[in-house]
C-alpha cells in the first residue's frame, strides 16, 4: 500500500497541498498484491495524509480486501492508531518496511512492487498531471489505465 502525489492543472475543482512533497494537486492511494495488481484504489486531494486516505480506501474496499491478512507499508503509515484501524476494519496486521539508518539508496524488499505499479501508471501520459475536473474522474482514469495494462498483458 502506498500513495502518490500528482500535480493539478488549473481546471480542477478540488485542490490540496502536500507539504511533504511540495505538490499542489491530488493523491492516489493504491493497495496492490505481490504481483503489483491493484485491489483497492482511492483518490483524494493532496492535503489528505497517507494514513487517512488508506483508512478510507480500505473502508470503501472492505469486501475486495476481506482475504488480506497482512499489509506491507512504508514509514509514512507508522503509528498505533493506523494499525488499530486496519485491525478493526479488516482484522489484518500492518508491517512497516523501514529504511536503514544510513542515508544510502537501498532497495527495500517487497516495497518495490507498489512502486512498480506507480511506474506502470506513469506510462500513461494522461496521468502525468491531473487534468480532470472532478476527483471521481481522476479515479476512473487510474482504473482505466490499470485495465489497459491488464488487457495488454494477457
For residue range 95-126, list pLDDT tens digits in order. Answer: 988 766 556 666 666 778 888 899 988 888 88
How far is the C-alpha of 44 from the C-alpha of 26, rounded, in Å?
6
Exposed, middle or buried, 46 (CB in 10 Å: 0-12/13-18/19+)? buried
Domain ranges of the chain: 2-67+111-153
Give the pLDDT of residue 50.
93
> Between the CA of residue 121 and those of 69, 89, 126, what are the distances in Å?
26, 28, 9
Give residue 81's pLDDT band: very low, low, confident or very high (50, 70, 90). very high
- State what percent of residues in the chain have pLDDT above 90: 55
pTM of the model: 0.87
* Mean pLDDT taken over the chain: 88
The pLDDT value recorded for residue 104 is 64
Amino acid at each position: 500500500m502506498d500513495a502518490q502525489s500528482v500535480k493539478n492543472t488549473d481546471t480542477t475543482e478540488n485542490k490540496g497541498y502536500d507539504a511533504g512533497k511540495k505538490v499542489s494537486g491530488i493523491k492516489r492511494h493504491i493497495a496492490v498484491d505481490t504481483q503489483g495488481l491493484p485491489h483497492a484504489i482511492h483518490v483524494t486531494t493532496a492535503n489528505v495524509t497517507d494514513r487517512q486516505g488508506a483508512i478510507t480506501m480500505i473502508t470503501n474496499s472492505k469486501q475486495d480486501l476481506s482475504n488480506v491478512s497482512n499489509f506491507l507499508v512504508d514509514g509514512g503509515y507508522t503509528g498505533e492508531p493506523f494499525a488499530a484501524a486496519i485491525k478493526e476494519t479488516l482484522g489484518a496486521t500492518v508491517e512497516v518496511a523501514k529504511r536503514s539508518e544510513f542515508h544510502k539508496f537501498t532497495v527495500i524488499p517487497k516495497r518495490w512492487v507498489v512502486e512498480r505499479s506507480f511506474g506502470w501508471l506513469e506510462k500513461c501520459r494522461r496521468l502525468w498531471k491531473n487534468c480532470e475536473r472532478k476527483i471521481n474522474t481522476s479515479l476512473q482514469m487510474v482504473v482505466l489505465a490499470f485495465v489497459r495494462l491488464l488487457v495488454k498483458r494477457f
